[in-house]
Structure 1
Amino acid sequence: MSEQLSLIEPQRHTHLRLAAATDPGPRRTRTPGRGGAPAYTDRERHAEDLGRQVSTIADEHRRRSEVLGVDPELILVLEINGPLDPADVERAGLRVLELRSDRALVAFAQDPELTEFVRRNDLYMQGTRGFTDKGYERAAEYETLFDKIDALRPIGSRDLIGVELARHLDEGPDPGEVVRLEINCWCSEDAGEAQRRNADVAAAVGRAGGTVHATSVRATAGWSVVCCDLPVGMLEEVLATDRISWVDLMPSPMLDAPEFLSATPESLPLAVAPSSTAPILAVIDSGIRSAHPLLAPAVIGAEAVGEGIADGGDESGHGTLVASLGLYGSLEEPLATRSSVVPAGRLLSVRVLDRNDRFPDDQAWPDLLLEAMTVAAEAGARVINLSLGDSRRPYAGPRPTPIAAMVDQFIRYHQDVVVVTCAGNYDSGQHDLGRLRSNDYVADLLTLPEPGILDPGTAALSLTVGGLGGGHHQGVFVRASADKVVVGGPNLPSPHTRVGPGPMGAIKPELSAPSGSAVVDTVVGREDRGSTLGKVVGAGGNAPDRLLAAGRGTSYAAPLVSHGALRVLGQYPELNGNSVRALLLVGADQIPTYLDSGAPARQDERRLTGYGRVSPERSEMSDDHRVVLLSQHTIRVNQAHFYRVAIPSSFRVAGGRIDLSVALAFDPPVRVTRLDYLASKMSFQAFHGPSLEEVRLAYVKAATEEDLEDDVALTPSGLRGRLDLQPADTERSRGANQLGRYVRHQKVADDRPDELVIAVRNQNRWDVDNAEQRYSLAVMLQRDTGHPSIYAELRAELEPLVEIEIEAEAGF
C-alpha cells in the first residue's frame, strides 16, 4: 500500500496503545475432527495387505545380523494418504521418529514382531461395528489409524542420502576416499533414546575406520548429529545400523562474494556514534571489519565461535556489508550526498565462518549457530540477523525441520529478541535468458526445481525475508551501457529469491526487501555477474583499500528488516519480540500485484514476497493520516479476547481511500514430531456493525453450542458485519506472524457504529491445559492525505506508546 504524494512532509508521532482486551470469551477444548468417508471400503482386503507386508518385514528383520557392533533396529516408513495422528501410531506399538512429508511417516518398532500393530490390524479387519440408533454405520475399530496407511516398508538408503552426497557417489569415488559427513540420527523426544542412537552411530563410525569430530543431541528440537570423516566404501554399513535419518556432505554457507568498490574515508558519510542505550544488533556471519569508518562508532564487540576461527575479523566482506545494512539501511542516498548518518543501534559481531567462508567442517553448523545466538542474547542483543543458509536441503514441506525448531525454541525462550532470517538464494543462472529480460522469470520462480526456503529461514517464529529487484538508483553505475539490462525492478521479486510457504503452509517469507538483481548483457547474450548495476551497496570488509562493496542476494535483504527492528526498539525499548514483529508487519508497504488476477495469483505472490516490503519509517512512527495501535498481552489457550477500535470522523467524509491493517505475532511452543508443529493456533477477525458485547456473546454461545469448528478461521454463524481482511484467515492463521488488510473507497455511513470490534482467538492443539500464550496485536488505520487527519482524534482517547504495561487477563 502506497501513500499519496504530498508537498507537505507528514508530522511523525508515537504509536498509540490499544486499550486492553475485555473479559475473554471461553472456548471449549476439542479433539480435532476426522470426518469423511473411509479410504478403504474393503477393510478386510486392506487389512490382509497390511498384514502380509508386516509379516514380510518381520521375517527379513529376523535374518539381519549385527552391523559394526550395532544391532539393527526396525525402522518403518508408513506411506499415508492424509494426516495421521502420531498418538494413534504410538498406541499401536510404534514410536514416531519423523513426519517426513504429508505422505510418509517414519516410526521405530521396539517390538520387531509388531505384536500390538498386528492385533489392532486384526480387529480393524473385522469391519464395521453395526449401526447407531439413527441408522449410521459405526466405524471399524482403529479405522482412524489403518484407513490412513496405504503401505508399510522398511527404510532404505534412498530415503537417507542427501543430494550433494548422492551426486558425489554417482561420480564413482574410490571406496577408500575419505569424505567429511554430517550424519543426522533418528531423534525421538525421549532424550535417553536419542542419546543412545547417537552414541551407536558414533561407535559404528569408529569401527568403520572413520573419525568422529563432534556429536550433538537436542531431543526437544529433534536434532541429533554426528560429524565425521568416513571412507566412502563403509557408508552402506553405517547406514545399515538403521540409526540414521539423513546423511550428506558437510555444508558450506550461502554467500555471495561482494565486488569491492573504490572509496576513501573522506568520501564516506560521517558516522555518528549511537547512544549508550541504543538496542544491540547481533550479526552472526563471517565477522566484521570492526575498524571500518561506518562500523567503528557502533561496534561493542566482535566474538568468534567455532574451532579454527581465531578472531572476529572478516576476510570475505560479507558480514561487514550485512552489518552496515543493519545499522543504516540503504546507503545509496547518504553516499551520494555525503550527509552524516547515525547507526540505528550498537553492533555485536559473532563470527561463525572460517577464512574460506565456510563453517568449520568438523562441527555441526546448527550447533555453532545456536551457540552464537546464545552468546548474542547473553550480551544483550535485541535483534539477531542470520544471513546464512544451508543450500543442500531446500524446504519441501509440510514437515518442519529440526534446525527451525532449534531456532524457534531459542526465540520462545528469549522473548525480548527478534530473529531475522533470509529466504536463501537461487542461482539466477537457472533462468532462461530471454525470460529474465522479459520478466517472465517471476512466474518461473514458482516452478523451478527445489525452490524452497533454506534453513534457518524456515523457523516459524523468525521473520523471514525475501528479495526484491533493484531500484532505479540501486547499485553502482560503473561500466553502464544501454546494452546492460537490470532484471525486474523494485516491485518484482529478485530472480535469485527463494519461494515459500513455510512449515505447515505458513506464509513465508513474511517480508521482502531490496536484494539486488541480475544484469543481462544483451551484446554477448549472457548474464553479467561482474556488473555492479542493481546491486546492494554497503561497507566493504575484504581488504584495507576497499571501503565499499556491492552484492546481491537475500543475505542483504534480511539486514534491512533488522534495521527496521532496531528503529522500532529505539523508539519503544520496552517492547517484546512479538510486538516488534507485529509492528514490522503492520507497517509493511503492500506491493502492487505482478502476477495474473485471482486469488491463486495472490497466494503465489505471497510465496515470493510475503505480506510486502519492509518500511522502517511506517513501523517506527505514526503520522497525521496513519495511526498504529498496539496491544501486548497474554491469552489462555482456547479463549478469545475482544478489542474496541474507534472509527475516526475522517472516515465519514466522502471520497478517497480508507485502509485497515491488523497484525498478530505470537510465540507458541513447537515440536517437530507433531502434525501441528505449533502448540496452539491464533487468529483474528474484525467486525463493523455488532457491538463488542454482541461479538463476545456470539463467540461464547458458539463455544457452548459447538458452532465454532476446529479451524480457527471460522467465526460464529450468524454474526454479521465481518470485514474481508486479506489474505483470508485460513491462509494467514497457519503461521505465527500474521497480517490482514482491508481497503474501502466509500465513506462510512453516518448511521453506522462508531467503533470496530476485533476478536483474537486461541485454539489449543497440544499445549498443557490453561497454558498462557504471549501475543501482540497491531492495528493500523489510514486515511489518504486529501482528507482530514486522524491522529489527534485518536490520541485524545488513547495513551501514547511510550511504554507498555501488561494488564492481567480478566478471570471467569
Structure 2
Amino acid sequence: MSQFEHLELPKTSIELPRRSRGGGGGGTSRSDRSSHGQQLLTQISGLTQRSKQNTSQFHLNPKLIFKIKLSPDGSLQESALSPLGLTLLAQEPRVNKAIVVFATDEDLTQFQFRLEVYSGLVESPYEYGHLDAITELVALEPADRTGRLLELEPIEPGETAALDLELWHTGDNTEMRQYIDELDDVLRGLSDNSEMRVSDRYVGSYLCIARIKVTSDVLNLLLEEDFVKEIDRRPKPNFETPAEYNISLSDLPEVNSPSEQNCGVLVVDSGVTRGHPLIAPALGEAEVFPDTAREFIVGGPDDGDELTGGHGTGVSGIAIYGDIGKGIEENAFQPDVWLFSARVTNQNNEYDPDSLLENQLDDAVRYFTQNYANCKIINISLGDARLSFKDGQKQFRLAAKIDELAYELRHKNLVFVISAGNLPYEMGTGEQMRIDYPNYLFEESAKIIEPATAAIALSVGSISLGTGSLQYSNDAQRTAIARVQGYPSPFTRRGFGVDGMIKPDLIDFGGDLVIDRTRIIPNEPGASIMTFARDFTGSMFRAYCGTSFAAPRVANIAAQLFTLFPNATSNLIRALIASSAELPGELPSVLQEQKRNDTKQLAKQLQVFGYGHPDVTRAKYSAENYAVLLEDDRQIPVGSFQIFEIPPLPEQYLSTPGTRILSVALAFDPPTRPTRGDSYLGITMEFNLFKDVSKDSIVQAFVNASRTDSPEDFTEISLSTLKKNNPGKGIAVGLYPGSNLRKKGCLQKGQINISDRAKGFGEQPLYLVLSCSRKWAKPEEIESQRYALVVSVYHSDPEVDVYNQLKLKTQVSPIIPRARIR
C-alpha cells in the first residue's frame, strides 16, 4: 500500500468573535399475568418434553437446563430461584437480561406449581409477582455453546481438532468427574484408534473443563448437548517451539545505534540493565534520582528490581523496539528509538522514604530534557494500586505534578505515557476470576490508579494477545482468561477519570493471565509480552504481563512520530495517535452494542478501551483510502471560535459500498489545578461538525449566540438556532462520543460511520467549529490556547482513492516530510 504524507486542514478566514464569561427481583408489573403465566407453562412443558426425547449418547443429560429471559427493567435475584426449585448456573451480561438455570424433575414441579399460582389456575395466598420479570423460557442452542475462537475459526470437515469443552458445573465434583469419564469412554468408542478422546481434564469448585479431540461431526453432536456450556478452540501460543523463546549471543544479528536525531524515550522505573546487548546500542544515558549519595538506591542506574526480575529493563526493551516478539521471530533487532533511564526505586521496588516522588520525577524529567533535546517521551509504568480513582474526587498528587510539568515545559513538547494500573488478585482465585471476567472490570475497585488520571498524559490500558501458554499448550488445566485477541486483559483498569474525562485514552497489548486449577499464573510465556531479561546471561528474553508493558508500546509509537515529524507539537503527536486508534475487532458480549447507538454500551467501551488501539502506520502516513488532514500549533483566543472547512467528500467515496469513517481528533494542553473542584482544567475546548448548511448561517448563529446572557450555553444555543433555521436537514453531524462527554478532557476524538443513505456529505463543504472557554484561568495570564487538530477520512475499500481527490480539493501542500512511496 502506498504511504503518503498527511495533508493540511484548510482554515477559513472567519474567526468568530470572542465571548465573555458570565457570572456566578423487580420491574414493571404485568396486567396480563393469567395469559402470560399460561404461556410460560406451555414453554416449560415443551422444554421438558424436548429434554426427555433427546437422550444423550454421551451420557450428559442429568438435568433440564434452560434460559430465563428477563424484561429490560426486570430482575430475578438468585435468592428467589431456590424457592422456585431452580439453581442458577450463569447470569449473562446485564445487557442480555437472561439467566441460565437447571432443575431436576422434582424441582421442576415446584416451578410449575408457582407458575400455576401466578396464572390464577391455582388458588393461593401468594401472587409470586416477581415472576413478572420473566418474558420467556427457552432452550440453549448450539450457537450459545460455541466459543468465540471456534466461531472465528470453525472446524473443517474431516479435521480432528483439540478443543476445550466446559460442562455446566452442578456443584458435585465427583459427579462431574464421572461425566468426563463417561464422555471419554464414548469418544474412544467412536474411533478405532482412540484418536478421539479426553486428553486432559480439570474439575474445580466452579469450573469443569475437558480437553477433547473430536471430528467436526462429533463436535456438532456435542454442541446439541444441554449439559455442555461451551466448546472452544484452545488458545495458540506466541511461538511454535520453546526454542524461539531465546536466542544465543552468538546468533544475535549486529545491532546498530539509532540515528543521532531520532527521538528518545525516558523510562522512569527501576533502572535498566545497561550491558544488555540489545539495549546498550540504543542507551543514551541512565541515572539515579534523586539519591546522589547512593545510600538508599544501591547498584547505580542498573536495574535493581529483585522482586519481579527486572521491571525497568522489561519496560525499556519495549520502549526501544515496540514489538520484541516480532524481533525474536525474525531474529532482527534495529532500534529506531533512543532510551534514557531514570531509576527511582531500590532493590525492593520502594521509593526513597526521604524524598517526595514528585521531586524525583521533576528532577529526572528536567535533567534529561535539558541535556538531550531529542528526549521527548516520558514513560511511567509505575502506580499505586491503593489509590484507585473514585467518581467525584479531585486529582491525585503525582498525576497533578505530571500535568503541571507537561504545561510548564510545553515549549519542549513532551508526551507523557502512563500505564492504567493493574487490578490486584489473589493467587488462589483463578476459577472465580475466569467466571466473573470481564464483569468485575466495572466494579468501583477496578478504576484507574494514580497517576493514570493525568489529563495531558496518554493513559494506556491493556488487551490480550489472544494466545495461551507456550510450554503447556496442551494442558486443559492451564487456560488463559481473556483468550481472544483484543479482549481486555484480566488485570486492566478502566475509567473514567477526573471530571468524567475519557481515561484510559488508549489500549495496547499487555498480555493475559493463565489459570491452573484455582492458581493464577502471571507472566506465562505465550500469553504474556516478550521483552528483555535483567540477567541476560541465562536468557536474554523473558515474558511479562501488565499494563506496564502496554504503555511503552504507545511510547514507542510517539517516539517514531516525533522522529518523522521533528517540528510537531506534543498536541499533534497525541492527536495523531488518537486518530489512528480503533476498537478491537472482537469485543466481549458485555461490551457489545445491543442496539443501534447504544450509548450505555458505548460508554462502557470508552471506559475500558478509550479511543482504541493505535496503529503506527496510520498515524505516520495517509494512503489512497485513508486521508489525514491536520492543523498543528494553532492558537485560539480564549472565549472565541474558529471554523475549518472540510472539502465535500468525493462521490466515489460515498457511492462505493463499504465502511466509511470520518473522525476528528483534538488535543490541547491547558493549565490544570487539583485544588479546583469545579474544573480541573483551567481552559476547555470543544468541536462540532456541520453539513448541508452554509458557512454564513453558521457564522450568524454563533455571532448571535455570543450576544446572549448565557455564555456557558453558547454552543447549545448556536446548535438550537441552526437546527431551527434548517428543519429536517440533520445539519449537526452525530459524532460519537458526543460533545458533552468529549469536552471533559484535553484529548478528544469523535467519529461517525457514514451510512449508504447518509445525505449532505458530498454536495458542499463540511464545517468544523472549534470553541475555547475559560474556566478559572486568569485573562491576564492566558490570552490564548494552543492546539492541534486531525481529521481523517477512511474507506474500507483500498481501491477508493479518497486521498488524491481530497488533496486536489484542499489546494494546499502536504506537510513535510516528503512523500514516501513503497
User: Displacement, 1:269?
Assistant: 5.6
Contact persistence 1:383–1:420 (CA under 8 A):
yes
Partner Cα separation in structure 2 for residue 663 and residue 329 of structure 1: 24
Match of 2:604 in 1: 604
Question: What amino acid sits opposite 1:639 in the alignment?
Answer: S
Is the alpha carbon distance of 1:21 and 1:772 closer, same or farther for their aligned partners in structure 2, counting shifts above 3 Å?
farther
Match of 1:420 in 2: 417
User: Displacement, 1:749?
Assistant: 5.5
Match of 2:10 in 1: 19
Contact persistence 1:476–1:535 (CA under 8 A):
no
Partner Cα separation in structure 2 for residue 753 and residue 697 of structure 1: 21
Contact persistence 2:437–2:490 (CA under 8 A):
yes
Q: Which moved more, 1:699-708 or 1:650-659?
A: 699-708
Q: How many residues align?
A: 563
Are 1:774 and 2:786 matched, yes or no?
A: yes
Contact persistence 1:261–1:547 (CA under 8 A):
no
For structure 1, which runs of at least 5 residues remain unmatched after alignment?
A: 1-9, 34-259, 805-812
Is the alpha carbon distance of 1:661 and 1:355 closer, same or farther for their aligned partners in structure 2, counting shifts above 3 Å?
same
User: Displacement, 1:281?
Assistant: 1.1
Is the alpha carbon distance of 1:751 and 1:461 closer, same or farther for their aligned partners in structure 2, counting shifts above 3 Å?
closer
Deviation sequence 1:375-414 (CA, Å, 0-9, x none): 2221321111111112232221431123222111100122
Match of 2:664 in 1: 662
Question: What amino acid sits opposite 2:364 in the alignment?
Answer: A
Match of 1:716 in 2: 719
Match of 2:690 in 1: 687
3-state SS of paired residue (1:641) = strand
Contact persistence 1:465–1:557 (CA under 8 A):
yes
Contact persistence 2:428–2:519 (CA under 8 A):
no
Q: Give the 5 Å matches for 1:781-800.
A: 781-785=793-797, 787-796=799-808, 797-800=811-814
Contact persistence 2:262–2:337 (CA under 8 A):
yes
Partner Cα separation in structure 2 for residue 567 and residue 321 of structure 1: 19
Match of 2:735 in 1: 725
Q: Give the 5 Å matches for 1:99-178.
A: none
Is the alpha carbon distance of 1:794 and 1:480 closer, same or farther for their aligned partners in structure 2, counting shifts above 3 Å?
same
Contact persistence 2:427–2:520 (CA under 8 A):
no
Partner Cα separation in structure 2 for residue 393 and residue 590 of structure 1: 27
Contact persistence 1:423–1:497 (CA under 8 A):
yes
TM-score in terms of structure 2 length: 0.65
Is the alpha carbon distance of 1:365 and 1:705 closer, same or farther for their aligned partners in structure 2, counting shifts above 3 Å?
closer
Find 2:426's aligned residue among 423, 426, 429. Answer: 429
Are 1:395 and 2:392 matched, yes or no?
A: no
Q: Give the 5 Å matches for 1:600-639.
A: 600-632=600-632, 633-639=634-640
Partner Cα separation in structure 2 for residue 270 and residue 261 of structure 1: 19
Partner Cα separation in structure 2 for residue 724 and residue 519 of structure 1: 41
Partner Cα separation in structure 2 for residue 714 and residue 452 of structure 1: 35
User: Displacement, 1:306?
Assistant: 2.4
Partner Cα separation in structure 2 for residue 453 and residue 430 of structure 1: 21
Are 1:444 and 2:456 matched, yes or no?
A: no
Deviation sequence 1:1-52 (CA, Å, 0-9, x none): xxxxxxxxx211111121245332124223366xxxxxxxxxxxxxxxxxxx
Partner Cα separation in structure 2 for residue 715 and residue 551 of structure 1: 51
Is the alpha carbon distance of 1:470 and 1:634 closer, same or farther for their aligned partners in structure 2, counting shifts above 3 Å?
same
Partner Cα separation in structure 2 for residue 402 and residue 281 of structure 1: 23
User: Displacement, 1:561?
Assistant: 0.6
Partner Cα separation in structure 1 for residue 428 and residue 816 of structure 2: 49
Is the alpha carbon distance of 1:475 and 1:528 closer, same or farther for their aligned partners in structure 2, counting shifts above 3 Å?
closer
Question: What amino acid sits opposite 1:419 in the alignment?
Answer: F
User: Displacement, 1:705?
Assistant: 3.3
Match of 2:478 in 1: 484
Is the alpha carbon distance of 1:19 and 1:430 closer, same or farther for their aligned partners in structure 2, counting shifts above 3 Å?
farther
Is the alpha carbon distance of 1:435 and 1:388 closer, same or farther for their aligned partners in structure 2, counting shifts above 3 Å?
same
Is the alpha carbon distance of 1:324 and 1:27 closer, same or farther for their aligned partners in structure 2, counting shifts above 3 Å?
same
Find 2:553's aligned residue among 554, 560, 567. Answer: 560
Match of 1:207 in 2: none
Partner Cα separation in structure 1 for residue 433 and residue 714 of structure 2: 41
Q: Which has the larger radius of gyration?
A: 2
Match of 1:293 in 2: 277
User: Displacement, 1:603?
Assistant: 1.0
Contact persistence 2:736–2:752 (CA under 8 A):
yes
3-state SS of paired residue (2:567) = coil
Partner Cα separation in structure 1 for residue 335 and residue 744 of structure 2: 35
Is the alpha carbon distance of 1:569 and 1:477 closer, same or farther for their aligned partners in structure 2, counting shifts above 3 Å?
farther
Find 1:705's aligned residue among 698, 705, 708. Answer: 708
Match of 1:165 in 2: none
Match of 1:653 in 2: 655
User: Displacement, 1:584?
Assistant: 0.5
Contact persistence 2:282–2:337 (CA under 8 A):
yes
Question: What amino acid sits opposite 1:11 in the alignment?
Answer: S
User: Displacement, 1:569?
Assistant: 1.1
Partner Cα separation in structure 1 for residue 629 and residue 428 of structure 2: 43
Contact persistence 2:418–2:460 (CA under 8 A):
yes
Find 1:363's aligned residue among 355, 366, 371. Answer: 355
Is the alpha carbon distance of 1:730 and 1:31 closer, same or farther for their aligned partners in structure 2, counting shifts above 3 Å?
same
Runs of 4+ residues over 3 Å off in structure 1: 260-263, 266-272, 428-438, 474-480, 705-715, 747-752
Is the alpha carbon distance of 1:309 and 1:723 closer, same or farther for their aligned partners in structure 2, counting shifts above 3 Å?
same
Q: Which moved more, 1:425-434 or 1:664-673?
A: 425-434
3-state SS of paired residue (2:707) = helix
Q: What's the Cα RMSD here?
A: 2.5
Match of 1:471 in 2: 466
Are 1:273 and 2:257 matched, yes or no?
A: yes
Is the alpha carbon distance of 1:774 and 1:786 closer, same or farther for their aligned partners in structure 2, counting shifts above 3 Å?
closer
Question: What amino acid sits opposite 2:377 in the alignment?
Answer: V
Is the alpha carbon distance of 1:300 and 1:750 closer, same or farther for their aligned partners in structure 2, counting shifts above 3 Å?
closer
Is the alpha carbon distance of 1:723 and 1:623 closer, same or farther for their aligned partners in structure 2, counting shifts above 3 Å?
same
3-state SS of paired residue (1:589) = coil
Partner Cα separation in structure 2 for residue 264 and residue 693 of structure 1: 68
Question: What amino acid sits opposite 2:805 in the alignment?
Answer: E
User: Displacement, 1:435?
Assistant: 5.1
Question: What amino acid sits opposite 1:441 in the alignment?
Answer: Y
Are 1:309 and 2:297 matched, yes or no?
A: yes
Match of 1:231 in 2: none
The alignment-based identity, stated in percent, is 28
User: Displacement, 1:264?
Assistant: 1.8
